[in-house]
Amino acid sequence: MDFRVFLKKGNVQKYGFGISLSRFVWLLSFCLIGSVSPCLSVDAAPKSSESSKTSPASKSSTGSKSRVAKSFKGLQYVQDTESFGLFEVWFSPSAIRVSSTSNRYILATSAPDWNVRIWRQDRKEACECTLDQFLKGDPFFTNRLSYASDLRQPLSMKRAVNKGDKLLVYKYPAIEAVSGAGLFISDRVDGSGLKAGEKLYPELICFDVGELPGLKVLYKLFNIAPQPGLPISAFVTKASGRQGSLINCEFRNREFSFDQSAVEIPAGYKRVPLHKRLFFTKGQGDALSEFYEGGL
């Protein structure tokens, strides 16, 4: 079943999208490990009592011992992105944790300071920086290969409600499809059924959760200009009406709980500066260095 987004009379009928789009699949296939997950409607998320589970606690760093133990409650969902792989997101109004299935790093931030913490279990490396430092950096250079990077200034925003979920629906100016992997522009149809120069009409679907500082971390991951709301899904529509996904979302748990230790750097990790390599496995970093000026 194709769970696409249809807007009728101001109401979002369902969440999810059709086929996935990519500008440079040939490059990313060398570097990123991931799979396209099926799109589910939000109401498919579990709501039974057994779905309200607490995440496993982990040993946090020494610096976190002085902090008051907290418990967060919110959403657990998986997002499949066009150019940066698969993410598992734990969201609450006071804390956000993102696990990259494709690149195997964990990124977390929490109130009140919203400092950003990144760590890798494979190399036992970690970094902590201010939110401002993280936003000014350019660690996710591959996300510039996505059509989502063209989502800068929305043309309009519409509020909608779907089965109790308050949504913000952003529409953006049309963008042009790129054919030939961005190297050889041609009049041929690419693997996604797009011709060079074909007009695409992007939309972004967000949960209306207000303007939380930590949300900027998620927009940074997707290379989308920050807007009010929790970014859930994004897609483009062709003039023919056919849709393609930029961000797919599958909800796992609507009553998910996790504690402070889940957003803290584990003890014993080597502290390193904020750097692009922190967001890639060794193999991914070595492969991308061949395409990145000055190395990675």
pLDDT of amino acid 37: 32
196 has a pLDDT exceeding 70? no
Please compute the mean of the pLDDT values over residues 64-74 and round it to a whole number: 67
By mean pLDDT, which of 18-27, 135-144, 193-202 is the weakest? 18-27
Predicted confidence (pLDDT) per residue in 39-60, tens digit: 333 333 333 333 345 554 444 4
193 has a pLDDT exceeding 50? yes
pLDDT of amino acid 89: 98
Higher pLDDT, 253 or 286: 253
pLDDT of amino acid 168: 98
- List all residues 6 or more positions away from 283 whose beta carbon is below 8 Å from its beta carbon: none
Kindly list the domain boundaries of the chain, sorted by start residue: 7-61+71-280
User: Could you give the CA distance from residue 24 to residue 142 in angstroms, rounded to a whole number?
Assistant: 10
By mean pLDDT, which of 97-106, 163-172, 179-188, 257-266 is the weakest? 179-188
pLDDT of amino acid 122: 94
User: Could you give the CA distance from residue 98 to residue 148 in angstroms, rounded to a whole number?
Assistant: 19
Higher pLDDT, 222 or 68: 222
What rounded mean pLDDT belongs to the chain?
Answer: 75
Specify which of 16-30, 92-106, 275-289 reaches the highest per-range mean pLDDT. Answer: 92-106
pLDDT of amino acid 36: 31
Q: Residue 144: pLDDT band by 50, 70, 90 thresholds?
A: low
C-alpha 114: how far from chain center: 18
Please compute the mean of the pLDDT values over residues 254-280 and round it to a whole number: 94
Q: DSSP letters along the chain, please?
A: ------EETTEE-----SEE--S-HHHHHHH----PPPP--GGGS--SGGG--BPPP-PBPGGGGGSPP-EEEEEEEEEEESSS-EEEEEEETTEEEEEETTT-EEEEEETTT--EEEEETTTTEEEEE-HHHHHHS---GGGGGSGGGG--S-SEEEEEEETTEEEEEEE---EE---GGGTS--SSB-TTS-BTT-EEEEEEEEE-----TTHHHHHHHHT----SSEEEEEEEEETTS-EEEEEEEEEEEEEEEEEGGGGSPBTTPEE----GGGGS-HHHHHHHHTTSTT--
pLDDT of amino acid 91: 98
Q: Residue 274's closest CA among 131, 129, 109?
A: 129
